[in-house]
């Protein structure tokens, strides 16, 4: 595998990297690898929230009053 050295990394960025790594339970080096991989490889699958936002992006809902159905639902019979 290739190796890289990052020079002149600002102290605040290094501190943020170490804090994020600690939150994720891994080393700063592993966190940097994960950040680079996610940033460069991306996630090719569309996310559900993005798909829903795309569906409703052109909808003009001004003046639309949507009522919530509060009727209790029947629990499924799992027997």
* CA-wise closest residue to 6 among 39, 38, 28: 28
- The answer to whether 31 and 20 are in contact (CB under 8 A) is yes
The domain in which residue 27 lies consists of: 11-56
In a domain, 77, yes or no: no
What is the structure's pLDDT at 64?
87
Residue 60's SS3 state is: coil
- The answer to whether 34 and 26 are in contact (CB under 8 A) is yes
In a domain, 27, yes or no: yes
In a domain, 25, yes or no: yes
Instruction: State how many domains the chain has.
Output: 1
* CA-wise closest residue to 66 among 56, 75, 76: 56
What is the structure's pLDDT at 43?
67
What is the structure's pLDDT at 25?
97
Q: Please list the pLDDT of the chain residue by residue as tens digits (79 residues).
A: 899 999 999 999 999 999 999 999 999 999 999 999 988 887 677 889 989 999 988 888 888 888 899 999 999 999 9
Q: What is the CATH number for 20?
A: 1.10.1220
């Amino acid at each position: 595998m290739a190796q890289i050295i990052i020079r002149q990394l600002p102290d605040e960025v290094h501190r943020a990297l170490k804090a994020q790594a600690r939150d994720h339970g891994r080393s700063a080096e592993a966190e940097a690898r994960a950040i680079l991989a996610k940033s460069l490889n991306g996630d090719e699958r569309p996310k559900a929230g993005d798909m829903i936002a795309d569906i409703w992006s052109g909808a003009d809902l001004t003046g639309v009053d949507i009522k919530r159905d509060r009727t209790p639902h029947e629990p499924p019979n799992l027997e």
